Amino acid sequence: MSERLEICSNTTLFQIDGICCLDCAAKFEKSVASLPGVIKSTLNPMTGKLTVVGNADVQSIRRLGQEENYWVQPIEKPAATSKTVLSVDGICCLDCASTFERQVASLPGITSASLNTMTGKMTLEGTIDIEAIRQLGRAENYQIRVVSEPALSGADSRGHLQGGPRIESSTGDTSQKKTIPWERIRMAASGAALVMAYIAETLNMPFPLFVSLYLTATILGGWGNFRKAAFALPRGKFNSSVLMSVAVLGAIAIDKWEEAASVAFLFSVSEMLEFWTMDRARRSIRQLMDIAPKKARIRRGIDEVEIPVEEIRIGDVMILRPGEKIAMDGLILTGESAVNQAAITGESVPLEKGPGDSVFAGTLNTYGYLEVSVTTRVEDTTIAKIIHMVEEAQGKRAPSQAFIERFAAVYTPIVMVLAASIALLPPLVLGFDWGPWIYRGLALLVISCPCALVVSTPVAVVSAISTAAKKGVLIKGGLHLEEAGSLAAIAFDKTGTLTKGVPAVTDIIAFGKTTQLELLKIAASLEDRSEHPLAKAIVAAAKQQGLAIHPVEQFRALPGRGAQGTIKSQTVFIGNVRLYTELGISTEPVTESVNRLQGNGKTAMLVGTETSFLGVIAVADQLRETSASSIHALKEAGLGKTIMLTGDNELTAKAMAAQVGVDDYRADLLPQDKVKAMEELLSKYGKVAMVGDGINDAPALALSTVGIAMGGAGTDTAMETADIVLMADDLSKLPFTIRLSRDAMKIIRQNIAFALGLKALALLAVFPGWLTLWLAIFADMGASILVTLNSLRLLKTRS
């Protein structure tokens, strides 16, 4: 593990200029990842920043860049001390949040700005002017506070990096308590003033009375948007607040007081409903944060004291009684129990655990009394890392989201020009009345608000990632979610993925008067001195049967063949067919058994003396219980091809492929051969995922369209190297992950089609005058809410 951390610390940053095609950029990223010495590469096509982990050959990367007409330049990586994390409270409009992020990124001294709209955390690199950022935040009614500031060293006094994993169950809550009540009060007052104005006008009360009430409703309902527009216009920014403000002021200018007030009030209602639906997605993260207890019972001398988890030190002994949640990661010292790990791995069946076994924070001790030695600090627990990675993943833009944000940036100015043309050209050129055409232009401004379009992707991505995390699957960003939803094939590493990775005795065939237990006892006696994995499997089987081994004299290891020794004054051999051939002993009596076992993918171990065979013991890497059913479920989900990659011989690979049910297999592969096999599969099928343990198959994982590591709970390497991590040590969550990804892509397409289709229909309805301001604001508000609610359906996806 220390070697892995040392390698990961060698990180190089590059600036890539000339990116105009996301698909080409993704291929370039994969090409860099496949270079010798490169462990992982990550390209942000929006900023042009390429991060390469490992030993990067600059010239090789430049040559790859030249193929895509990219300009590649190494840049100095910002020190960890230059990173600042801010909390941005009050986000309810993703379009406004995206504009705010771009404005902060353009401030002098800031080299990078990334805003996670779900958690409200903004990560900045460079020289930070907090007052300038707060001024920009006030334009959007945001409250800005510093979460972590640069330190003099990369680690704080407790020894962890600034901005690392933190568990904050109150993320975003503060802003809601401070900001939202005032918004609700203004919205309610605006609605009340609107109703009173309507009644006053209906009862033919004096004109100044109901106009003043309409004006009051307009100011109260549109106050937030007027402020945002006032900040945006001087900077040449045209956002949804500018659209609404122009529409309201235009309606007032043509004496449409009632409709101006209605638009202002209904838009404030729309923002409140959007905030509520967005908060549904945010709560999914806060539920993750509340999994682990905030206090734990610790032994201090002879006393047991309950203290906050932040005060617990590595090596402290944690006391757990039946039914209690585990607060920290650790190793069991004494006691046995079944631990429910559903919160981490998604496994519904509790696992039996005893001394020496690992336990994770957030899991449940069901029935036993346990004493656990704490092995990590609270910020380094597995659940803390999961939360941190989920937050990071939600902040990473999916390709569709990045495209929509770029589209929205030019969409609003185009709409304003189109609305102005509709309002001005017919009266000026054709001599039509001004009032109706100005009204139509204002209606177009209202319906053309890009909120529904901007929110169409990120809420779906966040909902899918949160749902996956709760089921024990870590998806590290919208890009990988989208790619997983469009896979044509999946390749599986055999050992440790489709199989358990630990050889076990499968068959014991005894000859003559020798019993199966006696045969196993003799074999274990010889193999007890060997370090070979197959030997350990035989010894483990004997211990499981409670057999005591025989004393062995004159033991001799025979590399590549087996072993021999003297038991009860008789020389006994254990090994393969080659051993007995060299001894001049005919293997004809066991040929049928050996061929049958090898045909089933098992290794046959022959046990005999100088004159006869005692029997045959078969050892094999056993198939995981969930492998065959998972492959079948993938096929039912419509996945095109499944392929097994293995270093086993052709006969063993063929037998294993038949057992597990994969469509194809590649045998006799060395680690470097798996990379070549992946290149061939990518060329043949297009998008191909690789499933492995994330360690010895890391190059193939990096080269694949989506790298999926299995058994990530407690394994830093798997969590670092893969794009998707199955926290449990089996494949049962893979079909769910593919189905969830496809559902997310389907919902994103539905959202985009609905949002754009509604805009197109509205545009057609403008010219004949069918689109009123009332209808426009209801349609815009309904579109945003329906798109968000449609995305939130992913929170209900079942595994």
Helix (H) or strand (E) holding 689: strand 688-692
Residue 318 near residue 328, CB atoms below 8 Å: yes
Q: Helices (H), strands (E): how many in the chain?
A: 27, 30
- Strand arrangement, sheet containing 38-44: 38-44, 49-54, 11-17, 71-75
What residues are paired with 49 via a beta bridge?
15, 44
- Give every CB contact of residue 84 below 8 A, 6+ residues apart in sequence: 123, 124, 125, 128, 146, 148, 149, 150
Residue environment code for 580-607, b if the CB has 16+ CB neighbours within 10 A, otherwise e: beeeebebeebeebbeebbebbbbbbbb
Distance CA 442, CA 433 (A): 15
Distance CA 105, CA 115 (A): 10
What is the CA angle 698-701-706, rounded to 5?
155
Residue 240 near residue 412, CB atoms below 8 Å: yes
Closest of 243, 252, 247, 244 to residue 269, by C-alpha: 244
Residue 605 near residue 616, CB atoms below 8 Å: yes
Distances (CA, A) of 659 to 555, 597, 629, 631, 632: 38, 14, 11, 11, 12
What residues are paired with 644 via a beta bridge?
492, 665
Structure tokens at 791: 């995305």
Helix (H) or strand (E) holding 278: helix 257-289
Identity at 571, one-letter amino acid code: T
Distance CA 493, CA 643 (A): 9
How does strand 613-623 pair with strand 641-645? unpaired
Structure tokens at 638: 């419509």
What residues are paired with 372 via a beta bridge?
318, 332
How does strand 664-666 pair with strand 641-645? parallel
Q: Which letter does DSSP use for residue 382 in this model?
A: H
Other residues' Cβ atoms within 10 Å of the Cβ of residue 371: 15
Identity at 429, one-letter amino acid code: V
Identity at 763, one-letter amino acid code: L
- Identify the residue whose tokens are 């993320």: 171
Beta-strand (E) ranges in 476-599? 489-493, 499-510, 553-558, 562-567, 570-575
Catalytic positions: 493
Helix (H) or strand (E) holding 124: strand 121-126
Distance CA 484, CA 490 (A): 10
Sign of CA dihedral 718, 482, 457, 283: negative
Distance CA 163, CA 119 (A): 14
Identity at 312, one-letter amino acid code: I
